Amino acid sequence: MRSFKLALTGLLLAPAVYAQQPIPPIQSPPAAAQPPANAQPPAAQPPAANNPARLDQLLNRWEQEMKNIQTLTADLNRTMLDKTYQGTDVFTGTAKYMKPNLAMLELQKKSNAQVFEKYICSGTFLYEWVPGNKVIRAHELPPPKAGQVGDDNFLSFLFGMKAEEAKRRYDLKLVKEDQWYVYIEVLPRFPADKVDFQKARLVLNQSNFLPRQVWFEQPNGNEITWDIPKIQSGTQIKREDFAPPATLPQGWNIIRVPRADAAAPAGQPPRIVRPQQ
């Protein structure tokens, strides 16, 4: 579950931190030239060009831009590089978010569409599809702490942290900026974050400060890259897209997973439940 939360919370759920704050009307971003086809974020780290004052300006603008988000849709590509076995898995899919706490992520393996991942957050439960076991796990979501997103990890700072908190939590360095993208190196400061990753790079679109690419290296050396060729805020989304499963395929069950802070007594297995909001 933590690996999923690392992705979904950061890319989709974290805007909920601003749900109780006044949100200004969404305005269309000014017209801007699109980067040419060969202007993709590079695979290698760009040369260091740290500028703390400029980084502060960019982080403050990023914080303001994130407050405007009410809905979000994205096309995603996730590449996982296993350094131990020298294998690469590529998944493609889509994601959606609706204020204050509705989200959906669906991915299919590029080489085999029968292998898929699917998650729906209904606000109170996170539904996780496990095709190999024909099970949908219903994770009860704890209420977020004041001023924080529902899960506390690296990618949550993409949308949910204030600029000052991001600088306290992570060692951030502006390594490159061009007319299309902003490149920021991210290193963890605290042990809890070092469990998730040992270094990372965030690439933001200059036009709207939404993420274009997120790369991070896990403690075991494996690398994960989230490439986001298309991401839009203010899109029309139906609430039904975030509804829990009403009917199940034959042989499938839903299993309720207790909250980590309200675990079931020792020896008590998860129980099968009906879908619910």
Whether 47 has a pLDDT exceeding 70, the answer reads: no
Task: Report pLDDT digits (tens) over 9-18.
Answer: 444 433 333 3
Domain count, the chain: 1
Characterize the bridge pairing of strands 102-109 and 125-130: unpaired
Residue where the block lists tokens 């996730």: 78
Report which of residues 100 and 165 the model is more confident about: 165
In a domain, residue 33? The reply is no
In a domain, residue 43? The reply is no
In a domain, residue 84? The reply is yes
CATH number for position 185: 2.50.20.10
- Residue 136: how many other CB atoms lie within 10 Å: 24
First-to-last alpha carbon distance for the chain, in angstroms, is: 20
Whether 30 has a pLDDT exceeding 60, the answer reads: no
DSSP for 204-242 reads EETTT--EEEEEEE-TTS-EEEEEEEEEEES----GGGG
- Give the model's pLDDT for residue 11: 46
Task: Report pLDDT digits (tens) over 81-102.
Answer: 998 888 999 999 999 888 877 8
Q: What percent of the chain has pLDDT over 70?
A: 69
Whether 33 has a pLDDT exceeding 80, the answer reads: no
- Give the model's pLDDT for residue 40: 56
Domain extent, residue 174, equals 2-17+48-272
Task: Report pLDDT digits (tens) over 179-229.
Answer: 899 999 999 999 988 888 899 998 989 998 888 888 889 999 999 998 999
Residue where the block lists tokens 């605290």: 190
In a domain, residue 32? The reply is no
- The mean pLDDT value of the chain amounts to 75
C-beta separation of 109 from 90 below 8 A: yes
In a domain, residue 39? The reply is no
Task: Report pLDDT digits (tens) over 122-160.
Answer: 888 889 999 989 999 998 877 655 544 444 444 444 555
